[in-house]
Amino acid sequence: MKRSGKTKEKYSYQIVLRPEPEGGYTVVVPSLPGCVTYGRTVEEANRMAEDAIRGYLESVRKTKEHFPTEDHGNIIATATVTM
């Protein structure tokens, strides 16, 4: 078996899991516009996010664009508004 000699690089992206009223979780990857998926459990949502990110990056690779980098400065917070 021949090896290409290329080492695989690891990419890390923050994900946001949003509980849905009907159950399950919608997952958004803020650093990858349009990268959204869904899982019935937190574990499944994480697996689906990994799969969605992999697919997104494979698509970017095919168009020979640079991989988007993670913005580790994201802050997830709650804003409360009184109306």
Q: What is the pLDDT, as a whole number, of residue 19? A: 96
Residue 30 token pair: 């803020």
pTM: 0.76
CA–CA separation, 18 and 20 (whole Å): 6
Instruction: Report which residue type is found at 68.
Output: P
pLDDT tens sequence for the chain (83 residues): 555 567 788 888 889 999 999 999 999 998 899 999 999 999 999 999 999 999 999 999 888 877 777 766 666 766 766 78
Q: What is the pLDDT, as a whole number, of residue 63? A: 86
Report how far apart, in Å, the C-alpha atoms of 63 and of each of 1, 37, 60 are.
29, 22, 5
Q: What is the pLDDT, as a whole number, of residue 52? A: 96
Helices and strands per DSSP (H, E), number in the chain: 1, 3
CA–CA separation, 17 and 2 (whole Å): 40
